[in-house]
Amino acid sequence: MILRNLTLAGTTADAPYGLIPDGAIWIEGGLIRWLGRETDLPEEASGLASEDLQGRLVTPGLIDCHTHMVFGGNRAAEFEMRLNGASYEDIAKSGGGIVSTVAATRDASEAGLLTDALGRVDHLISEGVTTVEIKSGYGLDIETELKMLRVARQVGQERSIQVKTTFLGAHALPKEHKNDPDGYIANACLPALELAVQEGLVDAVDGFCETIAFSPEQLEPVFEKAKSMGLPVKLHAEQLSHMGGAQLATRHCALSADHLEYATEDDAVLMANAGTVAVILPGAFYTLKETQAPPIEAFRKHKVPMALATDCNPGSSPMTSLLLTMNMGCTLFGMTPEEAFWGVTRDAAAALGLCDCGTLAEGHSADLAVWDVSHPAELAYRIGFNPLHRRICKGAG
Ligand code: DI6
Ligand code: FE
């Protein structure tokens, strides 16, 4: 199939946004066989069926590279408590927060979790998302961590979307291991990881490095285990305080370090050297009414790739809009619309270790979003508006 009469963005062309005007794309077997100026279309393509996209913009399908979208219940009551003065940390320490979602997730059936997760993923799909990462971490026992990851895999079977799963057993301490973080890691987290890997449920391993979660020392064995199983790592780092998470992540050549509000320029240098992507999560910053923004200027200066993601979760970012995330990255953190664009395409792919999507190039997966806009800056500029015309996943749609 040939798509013609369109503007391409997100190609590897040396132009802002990778723009190619007056373009065409040849899709074959779920892959991009050729793309470029329509006047350069190869001879062999001349007899093939083609479709006129009437000048629309075609970008890579969007990638949401950090979500916790499989969970039970919701935390609207906690939202209310925070607006009445309680802090996120206060709520976590008094048994609310992540551990209340853990209780609801343990109680939920696999079918119930799937139904709720599909509602969330459908919203992402409606905005042109073709790849989503989904973390575990609301089980915190072997059975429920595996249940969450199975549901995440099912999301990818029920919908035409690529799902990458991340094991986040080191997300919080469950109440049965209160005051025993090392015991939890040794006796629940690591065995759950091993079993999940045996079932083929894990694409990467993550941890939450924070005063209300785990220290770098406590997370070390989790990363060691990941390495011994050949899995890439990523880390929730420097979100609420500076704990040395970026250092831990870069020492292990992590794919990404995520959040990073309290990261420093030294952290940015370490990340640049390790090839670790900075995943920027403005939804959590906004919801928690944080005041310290991540060091975007330092990431820019040291050429650390910046991805943007929803962090979709019931506590700190109950958000399923990647377009709104792009807008927030610009408005709250001073990212440029072009950085926001690459942050949900090329750099989001890098944060997941993917090299066959996130940019439009020959041989890449034909994951595309077709938009009713004339310039890609409009994707980050508008608020609460969805200009998606059509989404194509692996050549279909
Ligand atoms: N950081 C986050 O933003 C989420 N997890 C994490 O490690 C929040 C999870 C929650 O509050 O339920
Ligand atoms: Fe998160």
Per-residue pLDDT tens, the chain, 397 aa: give them: 999 999 999 999 999 999 999 999 999 999 999 999 999 999 999 899 999 999 999 999 999 999 999 999 999 989 888 899 998 788 877 778 888 999 999 999 999 999 999 999 999 999 999 999 999 999 999 999 999 999 999 999 999 999 999 999 999 999 999 899 999 999 999 999 999 999 999 999 999 999 989 999 999 999 999 999 999 999 999 999 999 999 999 999 999 999 999 999 999 999 999 999 999 999 999 998 999 999 999 999 999 999 999 999 999 999 999 999 999 999 999 999 999 999 999 999 999 999 999 999 999 999 999 999 999 999 999 999 999 999 999 999 8
b vs e for 93-105, b when ≥16 Cβ sit within 10 Å of the residue's Cβ?
eeebbbbbbbebb
Q: What is the CA(191)–ligand 1 centre distance, in A?
A: 22
CA dihedral 327, 336, 311, 209 (to 10 degrees): -150
Assess whether the C-beta atom of 283 lies below 6 angstroms from ligand 1.
Answer: no
Tokens in use for 89?
């940390």
Using CA positions, which residue lies closest to atom 4 of ligand 1?
A: 316
**pLDDT given for residue 97 in this prediction:** 87
For position 370, what pLDDT does the model report? Answer: 98
Contact by Cβ (8 Å): 219, 235: yes
State residue 36's pLDDT score: 98
- Candidates 81, 98, 310: which one to mutate for ligand 1, based on the most atoms within 8 Å of Cβ? 98
Q: What per-residue confidence (pLDDT) applies to 94?
A: 77
pLDDT at 397: 87
* 184 neighbors 174 (Cβ within 8 angstroms): yes
Separation of first and last alpha carbons in the chain: 12
**Element (H or E) spanning 63, and its range?**
strand 62-64
Coil, strand or helix at 263 = coil
Task: For ligand 2, an ion, list residues with CB under 5 A.
Answer: 311
Q: Is 97 in the pocket of ligand 1 (CB under 6 A)?
A: yes
What is the pLDDT at residue 91? 87
Beta bridge pairs of residue 165: 134
Which one-letter amino acid corresponds to residue 275?
G
User: The tokens of 240 are what?
Assistant: 């609420």
Q: Which pLDDT value is given to residue 308?
A: 99
- 366 and 327 Cβ atoms separated by less than 8 Å: no
Residue 124 is predicted with a pLDDT of 98
